[in-house]
Protein backbone atom coordinates (compact mmCIF):
# COMPACT_ATOMS: atom_id res chain seq x y z
CA UNK A 1 0.00 0.00 0.00
CA UNK A 2 1.82 3.09 -1.22
CA UNK A 3 0.83 6.12 0.83
CA UNK A 4 2.32 9.60 1.02
CA UNK A 5 1.68 12.67 3.13
CA UNK A 6 -0.48 13.98 0.27
CA UNK A 7 -2.53 10.79 -0.20
CA UNK A 8 -6.30 11.23 -0.04
CA UNK A 9 -9.58 9.34 0.11
CA UNK A 10 -12.21 10.49 -2.37
CA UNK A 11 -15.41 11.34 -0.54
CA UNK A 12 -18.83 10.64 -2.04
CA UNK A 13 -19.23 14.33 -2.88
CA UNK A 14 -16.05 14.23 -4.98
CA UNK A 15 -13.76 16.12 -2.60
CA UNK A 16 -10.43 14.67 -1.53
CA UNK A 17 -9.93 14.01 2.18
CA UNK A 18 -6.27 13.76 3.21
CA UNK A 19 -5.48 10.47 4.91
CA UNK A 20 -3.43 12.26 7.56
CA UNK A 21 -3.90 15.45 9.50
CA UNK A 22 -3.80 17.31 12.80
CA UNK A 23 -6.52 17.25 15.42
CA UNK A 24 -6.63 20.05 17.99
CA UNK A 25 -8.94 18.60 20.65
CA UNK A 26 -7.72 19.75 24.10
CA UNK A 27 -5.32 22.29 22.53
CA UNK A 28 -5.73 25.59 24.37
CA UNK A 29 -7.00 28.60 22.46
CA UNK A 30 -4.29 31.12 21.75
CA UNK A 31 -0.58 30.49 21.28
CA UNK A 32 -0.71 26.74 21.94
CA UNK A 33 -3.18 26.05 19.13
CA UNK A 34 -1.63 28.65 16.83
CA UNK A 35 1.83 27.09 17.17
CA UNK A 36 0.55 23.53 16.71
CA UNK A 37 -1.29 24.38 13.49
CA UNK A 38 1.63 26.43 12.18
CA UNK A 39 4.10 23.62 12.87
CA UNK A 40 1.81 21.07 11.25
CA UNK A 41 1.36 23.11 8.09
CA UNK A 42 5.11 23.73 7.96
CA UNK A 43 5.67 19.96 8.23
CA UNK A 44 3.39 19.33 5.25
CA UNK A 45 0.08 18.54 6.95
CA UNK A 46 -2.87 19.72 4.86
CA UNK A 47 -5.79 18.56 7.03
CA UNK A 48 -6.71 20.52 10.16
CA UNK A 49 -9.58 19.34 12.35
CA UNK A 50 -11.28 21.48 14.99
CA UNK A 51 -14.75 21.85 16.52
CA UNK A 52 -17.04 24.42 18.06
CA UNK A 53 -16.78 22.55 21.36
CA UNK A 54 -12.98 22.85 21.35
CA UNK A 55 -13.24 26.65 21.62
CA UNK A 56 -10.09 27.15 19.55
CA UNK A 57 -11.47 27.87 16.07
CA UNK A 58 -10.24 31.48 16.19
CA UNK A 59 -6.67 30.33 16.80
CA UNK A 60 -6.89 27.68 14.09
CA UNK A 61 -8.04 30.28 11.59
CA UNK A 62 -5.32 32.75 12.58
CA UNK A 63 -2.61 30.12 12.17
CA UNK A 64 -3.93 29.11 8.75
CA UNK A 65 -4.04 32.71 7.53
CA UNK A 66 -0.53 33.44 8.79
CA UNK A 67 0.97 30.19 7.45
CA UNK A 68 1.30 31.37 3.88
CA UNK A 69 -0.30 28.13 2.68
CA UNK A 70 -3.17 28.93 0.29
CA UNK A 71 -6.56 28.23 1.84
CA UNK A 72 -7.55 26.02 -1.09
CA UNK A 73 -4.65 23.69 -0.30
CA UNK A 74 -5.92 23.06 3.24
CA UNK A 75 -8.75 20.69 4.13
CA UNK A 76 -10.49 22.35 7.08
CA UNK A 77 -13.00 20.53 9.27
CA UNK A 78 -15.11 21.77 12.15
CA UNK A 79 -18.01 20.21 14.02
CA UNK A 80 -21.49 21.32 15.08
CA UNK A 81 -21.95 21.25 18.85
CA UNK A 82 -25.30 19.46 19.18
CA UNK A 83 -26.21 21.41 22.29
CA UNK A 84 -26.95 24.19 19.81
CA UNK A 85 -30.20 24.52 17.92
CA UNK A 86 -29.38 25.26 14.28
CA UNK A 87 -26.37 23.74 12.57
CA UNK A 88 -26.50 26.17 9.63
CA UNK A 89 -26.49 29.22 11.90
CA UNK A 90 -23.65 27.75 13.96
CA UNK A 91 -21.67 27.06 10.77
CA UNK A 92 -21.84 30.77 9.95
CA UNK A 93 -20.47 31.57 13.41
CA UNK A 94 -17.66 29.03 12.93
CA UNK A 95 -16.71 30.60 9.61
CA UNK A 96 -16.53 33.99 11.29
CA UNK A 97 -14.26 32.65 14.03
CA UNK A 98 -12.11 30.76 11.51
CA UNK A 99 -11.87 33.76 9.21
CA UNK A 100 -12.72 31.78 6.09
CA UNK A 101 -15.72 31.71 3.79
CA UNK A 102 -16.15 27.94 3.55
CA UNK A 103 -15.48 24.65 5.29
CA UNK A 104 -14.30 21.53 3.54
CA UNK A 105 -16.17 19.32 5.99
CA UNK A 106 -18.76 20.02 8.70
CA UNK A 107 -19.65 17.22 11.11
CA UNK A 108 -22.30 16.66 13.77
CA UNK A 109 -19.99 16.16 16.74
CA UNK A 110 -22.11 13.46 18.42
CA UNK A 111 -25.70 12.20 18.12
CA UNK A 112 -27.14 14.01 21.13
CA UNK A 113 -30.93 14.09 20.89
CA UNK A 114 -30.90 11.39 18.21
CA UNK A 115 -29.12 10.98 14.88
CA UNK A 116 -31.52 12.82 12.55
CA UNK A 117 -32.87 16.08 14.04
CA UNK A 118 -29.86 18.28 13.14
CA UNK A 119 -29.41 16.95 9.61
CA UNK A 120 -31.79 19.27 7.69
CA UNK A 121 -29.82 22.28 8.97
CA UNK A 122 -26.57 20.52 8.04
CA UNK A 123 -27.97 20.12 4.52
CA UNK A 124 -28.95 23.81 4.59
CA UNK A 125 -25.29 24.63 5.28
CA UNK A 126 -24.35 22.84 2.06
CA UNK A 127 -27.13 24.62 0.15
CA UNK A 128 -25.80 27.95 1.43
CA UNK A 129 -22.26 26.97 0.31
CA UNK A 130 -20.94 27.29 3.83
CA UNK A 131 -19.36 23.84 3.53
CA UNK A 132 -18.44 21.49 0.71
CA UNK A 133 -19.38 18.36 2.62
CA UNK A 134 -21.24 17.23 5.72
CA UNK A 135 -20.79 14.22 7.93
CA UNK A 136 -21.00 12.83 11.42
CA UNK A 137 -18.87 11.89 14.40
CA UNK A 138 -19.40 9.28 17.10
CA UNK A 139 -22.33 7.70 15.19
CA UNK A 140 -22.87 3.94 15.41
CA UNK A 141 -23.84 1.75 12.46
CA UNK A 142 -27.46 1.83 13.65
CA UNK A 143 -27.45 5.62 13.92
CA UNK A 144 -25.83 5.92 10.49
CA UNK A 145 -28.56 3.72 8.98
CA UNK A 146 -31.26 5.78 10.66
CA UNK A 147 -29.77 8.98 9.29
CA UNK A 148 -29.43 7.50 5.82
CA UNK A 149 -33.18 6.93 5.63
CA UNK A 150 -34.04 10.63 5.97
CA UNK A 151 -30.99 12.30 4.41
CA UNK A 152 -31.36 14.27 1.19
CA UNK A 153 -27.58 14.74 1.19
CA UNK A 154 -25.79 11.67 2.51
CA UNK A 155 -22.97 12.00 5.05
CA UNK A 156 -19.52 11.67 3.53
CA UNK A 157 -17.54 10.79 6.66
CA UNK A 158 -17.85 9.46 10.21
CA UNK A 159 -15.13 10.49 12.65
CA UNK A 160 -14.76 7.97 15.47
CA UNK A 161 -12.40 6.85 18.19
CA UNK A 162 -10.26 4.22 16.48
CA UNK A 163 -7.01 2.43 17.26
CA UNK A 164 -5.84 -1.18 17.63
CA UNK A 165 -7.42 -1.09 21.10
CA UNK A 166 -10.68 0.34 19.73
CA UNK A 167 -10.78 -1.60 16.48
CA UNK A 168 -14.35 -0.83 15.41
CA UNK A 169 -14.26 -3.11 12.38
CA UNK A 170 -18.02 -3.59 12.24
CA UNK A 171 -18.53 0.16 12.17
CA UNK A 172 -15.94 0.61 9.42
CA UNK A 173 -17.64 -2.09 7.35
CA UNK A 174 -21.05 -0.44 7.78
CA UNK A 175 -19.67 2.97 6.87
CA UNK A 176 -17.83 1.73 3.80
CA UNK A 177 -20.98 -0.08 2.64
CA UNK A 178 -22.84 3.23 2.93
CA UNK A 179 -20.16 5.18 1.05
CA UNK A 180 -18.96 6.87 4.23
CA UNK A 181 -15.22 7.26 4.91
CA UNK A 182 -14.12 6.62 8.49
CA UNK A 183 -11.72 9.04 10.12
CA UNK A 184 -9.83 8.01 13.26
CA UNK A 185 -9.52 10.33 16.20
CA UNK A 186 -7.46 9.52 19.32
CA UNK A 187 -5.35 6.96 17.40
CA UNK A 188 -2.82 7.11 20.23
CA UNK A 189 -5.47 6.71 22.93
CA UNK A 190 -4.61 10.24 24.13
CA UNK A 191 -1.18 8.80 24.89
CA UNK A 192 -2.20 5.79 26.95
CA UNK A 193 -1.52 3.28 24.16
CA UNK A 194 2.09 4.36 23.64
CA UNK A 195 3.50 2.22 26.46
CA UNK A 196 1.73 -1.01 25.52
CA UNK A 197 4.31 -3.85 25.34
CA UNK A 198 3.14 -5.13 21.95
CA UNK A 199 3.15 -1.64 20.44
CA UNK A 200 6.62 -0.92 21.81
CA UNK A 201 7.90 -4.31 20.59
CA UNK A 202 6.73 -3.57 17.04
CA UNK A 203 8.11 -0.05 17.25
CA UNK A 204 11.54 -1.35 18.22
CA UNK A 205 11.43 -4.02 15.51
CA UNK A 206 10.60 -1.48 12.80
CA UNK A 207 12.82 1.32 14.07
CA UNK A 208 9.89 3.68 14.57
CA UNK A 209 8.11 5.28 17.49
CA UNK A 210 5.05 3.71 19.13
CA UNK A 211 3.01 6.68 17.88
CA UNK A 212 4.17 6.05 14.32
CA UNK A 213 3.20 2.38 14.58
CA UNK A 214 -0.29 3.22 15.81
CA UNK A 215 -0.82 5.86 13.13
CA UNK A 216 0.50 3.59 10.40
CA UNK A 217 -1.86 0.80 11.49
CA UNK A 218 -4.84 3.12 10.99
CA UNK A 219 -3.58 4.24 7.60
CA UNK A 220 -3.17 0.64 6.47
CA UNK A 221 -6.77 0.00 7.51
CA UNK A 222 -7.73 2.57 4.87
CA UNK A 223 -8.71 5.32 7.29
CA UNK A 224 -7.94 9.00 7.53
CA UNK A 225 -6.03 9.48 10.79
CA UNK A 226 -5.80 12.70 12.84
CA UNK A 227 -3.40 12.48 15.79
CA UNK A 228 -3.27 15.44 18.15
CA UNK A 229 -0.13 17.03 19.50
CA UNK A 230 0.99 20.50 20.55
CA UNK A 231 4.70 19.63 20.56
CA UNK A 232 6.69 20.42 17.42
CA UNK A 233 8.94 17.36 17.61
CA UNK A 234 5.96 15.02 17.91
CA UNK A 235 4.00 16.80 15.20
CA UNK A 236 6.94 16.29 12.85
CA UNK A 237 7.57 12.70 14.01
CA UNK A 238 3.90 11.75 13.66
CA UNK A 239 4.12 12.61 9.96
CA UNK A 240 7.02 10.19 9.54
CA UNK A 241 4.77 7.25 8.76
CA UNK A 242 5.09 7.12 5.00
CA UNK A 243 8.54 5.52 4.68
CA UNK A 244 7.62 2.11 6.08
CA UNK A 245 4.86 -0.47 6.02
CA UNK A 246 3.74 -2.81 8.78
CA UNK A 247 3.90 -6.46 7.66
CA UNK A 248 1.02 -8.91 8.03
CA UNK A 249 2.36 -10.28 11.32
CA UNK A 250 2.61 -6.84 12.88
CA UNK A 251 -0.85 -5.89 11.65
CA UNK A 252 -2.31 -9.11 13.06
CA UNK A 253 -0.58 -8.56 16.40
CA UNK A 254 -2.02 -5.06 16.61
CA UNK A 255 -5.46 -6.29 15.56
CA UNK A 256 -5.30 -8.65 18.53
CA UNK A 257 -5.18 -5.73 20.97
CA UNK A 258 -8.83 -4.87 20.31
CA UNK A 259 -11.05 -4.56 23.38
CA UNK A 260 -14.35 -3.87 21.60
CA UNK A 261 -15.13 -7.19 19.91
CA UNK A 262 -14.73 -5.36 16.59
CA UNK A 263 -17.92 -3.51 17.37
CA UNK A 264 -20.19 -1.49 15.10
CA UNK A 265 -20.76 0.94 17.98
CA UNK A 266 -18.96 4.29 17.99
CA UNK A 267 -18.48 4.31 21.75
CA UNK A 268 -19.20 2.01 24.66
CA UNK A 269 -22.39 2.77 26.53
CA UNK A 270 -20.38 4.17 29.43
CA UNK A 271 -18.44 6.36 27.03
CA UNK A 272 -21.48 8.19 25.67
CA UNK A 273 -21.01 11.41 27.61
CA UNK A 274 -24.27 12.89 26.28
CA UNK A 275 -26.51 10.07 27.54
pLDDT, tens digit, 9 for 90 and up, residues 7-29: 999 999 999 999 999 999 988 99
pLDDT at 166: 96
Helices 210-220 and 248-255, interaxial angle, to 10°? 100
Q: Give the phi and the psi of residue 198 in degrees, each rounded to 5.
A: -70, -40
Which CATH number fits the domain that encloses residue 95?
3.20.20.100
pLDDT tens for the chain, 275 residues long, are 689 999 999 999 999 999 999 999 988 999 999 999 999 999 999 999 999 999 999 999 999 999 999 999 999 999 999 999 999 999 999 999 999 999 999 999 999 999 999 999 999 999 999 999 999 999 999 999 999 999 999 999 999 999 999 999 999 999 999 999 999 999 998 888 999 999 999 999 999 999 999 999 999 999 999 999 999 999 999 999 999 999 999 999 999 999 999 999 998 877 777 76
pTM above 0.85, yes or no: yes
Distance CA 91, CA 100 (A): 11
pLDDT at 245: 97
Instruction: Report the run of H or E that residue 54 belongs to, with start and end.
Output: none
Could you write out the DSSP letters of every residue in 113-163? T-SSTTHHHHHHHHHTTSBS-EEEES--HHHHHHHHHH-SS---EEEEE-B
> Domain count of the chain?
1
pLDDT at 268: 81
Q: Is 235 among the domain residues?
A: no
pLDDT at 52: 98
Query: Could you give the dihedral angle defined by the CA atoms of residues 96, 225, 192 and 109, in that order, rounded to the nearest 10 degrees?
Result: 40
Q: Is 167 a catalytic residue?
A: no
Q: Is 269 among the domain residues?
A: no
Q: Are 158 and 267 in contact (CB under 8 A)?
A: no
Q: Are 116 and 88 in contact (CB under 8 A)?
A: no
Q: Is 67 among the domain residues?
A: yes
pLDDT at 275: 60
Q: Is 252 among the domain residues?
A: no
Q: Is 69 among the domain residues?
A: yes
Distance CA 173, CA 236 (A): 31
pLDDT at 2: 86
Q: Is 205 among the domain residues?
A: no
What region, left, alpha or beta, does residue 189 occupy, with left being phi > 0 and alpha being psi -120 to 50 degrees?
A: left
Structural domain of residue 183, as residue ranges? Answer: 16-189+223-229
Q: Is 72 among the domain residues?
A: yes
Q: Is 55 among the domain residues?
A: yes
Which member of 54, 81, 167, 185 is catalytic?
54
Amino acid sequence: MTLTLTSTRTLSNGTELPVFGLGVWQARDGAETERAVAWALEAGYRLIDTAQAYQNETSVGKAIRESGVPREEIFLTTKFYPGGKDARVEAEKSLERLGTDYLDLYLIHWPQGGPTWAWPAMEAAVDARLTKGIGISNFSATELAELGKIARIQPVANQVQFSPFEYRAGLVDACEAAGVVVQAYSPLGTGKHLDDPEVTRIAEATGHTPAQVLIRWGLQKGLSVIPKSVHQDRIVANAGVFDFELDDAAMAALDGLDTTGRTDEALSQSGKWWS
